[in-house]
Amino acid sequence: MTAPAPLPPASAVALASAVKRLAETDRLLVAMDFDGTLAPFVDVPRGARALPESKAALDRLERLPRTWVAYVSGRPLDSLQTVTEADEDALLIGSHGVEIRFGRDGVSLDLSDDERRTLERLGEVLGEVVDSLPGLKLEVKPVGFGVHYRLVADEHGPDVVRRAREAAAAVSDRLTIRDGKDIIEFSVRGADKGDGVERLREYTGATAVIFAGDDVTDEDGFRVLRAGEDVGIKVGRGETAAQYRVADEHAIATLLTLLAEARAAATA
């Protein structure tokens, strides 16, 4: 006699059932973090791309009635547009919630003179940190900088972070600082992904939101989700406010494919 197939864990069953419930909502917003959620990490940020299965599912979702797809990322908008290969009508939240572009509508950043001076000085001091060790890279963003240390030996990481923090603290004590995956970021603006998700909810009139993310900065997005209506999914390890957790980007691809199938049936 053949052994019965192992049952999926209870959490996987609960998530699959939450996805089916979501598919039935009147107006659905699918908001996705990019790096580490749709796209596996790579050494060169501009080379990152969503897994093909995720991209296909999101493209399908976007074409369905009363369904919106949005990307919510720490990347600057231009970089986000490139790596998502999203069309010009896409809903994009960049720079961790600071930059907003909804199709042709956008929010102008209008930096103050004080912010410009701080950015200039910050670029100088972080540039010195980055120049001190081969492999470090400075990512220039509209409202800040990211110091990437993915390409240096693991033992150097904590020292790079400490020196970058000290250099930035000498410039301003009002910066927003974010620790990410092999990156530390400094910003002169303090909006977060929770603000981004709420702007998207308002813009689309969504009756339910699904948001997935892998990093600490995604926790702000999980915190604004509404129990019983929305679905938050943490990708990978770490403490989280999300209701659900999956292992990696491949699990997200499977989930998005399931959601696209169920939503197509529900809106047919």
Ligand X SMILES: O=P(O)(O)OC[C@H]1O[C@H](O[C@H]2O[C@H](CO)[C@@H](O)[C@H](O)[C@H]2O)[C@H](O)[C@@H](O)[C@@H]1O
- Angle at which helices 249-267 and 10-23 pack, to 10 degrees? 40
Which backbone phi and psi does 20 adopt, to 5 degrees?
A: -65, -40
Compute the distance between CA of residue 244 and CA of residue 58 in angstroms, rounded to an integer.
20
CB 40 within 8 A of CB 214: no
Query: Token pair of 20, please?
Result: 């089916």
220 binds ligand X (CB under 6 A): no
Q: Closest separation between CB of residue 3 and ligand X, Å?
A: 40
For ligand X, give the closer residue by CB, 68 or 186.
186
Instruction: Tell the smallest beta-carbon distance from residue 45 to ligand X (Å).
Output: 3
**Which residue is at the shortest CB distance from ligand X?**
74
98 near ligand X, rule: CB under 6 A: no
Q: By CB under 6 A, what part of segment 100-139 binds ligand X? A: 139
The Cα–Cα gap between 88 and 238 comes to: 34
The SS3 of residue 104 is coil
Name the one range near ligand X by CB under 6 A: 125-133, 175-183, 241-249, 253-261.
175-183
CA angle 222, 228, 234 (to 5 degrees): 30
Among 147, 183, 210, 235, binds ligand X (CB under 6 A): 183
Nearer to ligand X, 23 or 58 (CB): 58
**208-213: strand order across its sheet:** 105-106, 99-102, 91-94, 67-72, 28-32, 208-213, 231-235, 244-246
Instruction: Report the C-alpha gap between 85 and 178 in whole angstroms.
Output: 26
Least distance CB 265 / ligand X (angstroms) = 30
Choose the binding region for ligand X from 13-21, 50-58, 182-190, 241-249 (rule: CB under 6 A).
182-190
Closest CB 250 distance from ligand X, rounded Å: 15
Contact segment (CB under 6 A) with ligand X among 71-79, 107-115, 161-169, 240-248 equals 71-79
Which residue among 18, 30, 36, 122 contacts ligand X (CB under 6 A)?
36
Measured distance CA(98)–CA(3) in Å, rounded: 53
Site for ligand X, rule CB under 6 A = 33-36, 41-43, 45, 48, 73-75, 139, 146, 148, 150, 180-183, 185, 215, 217
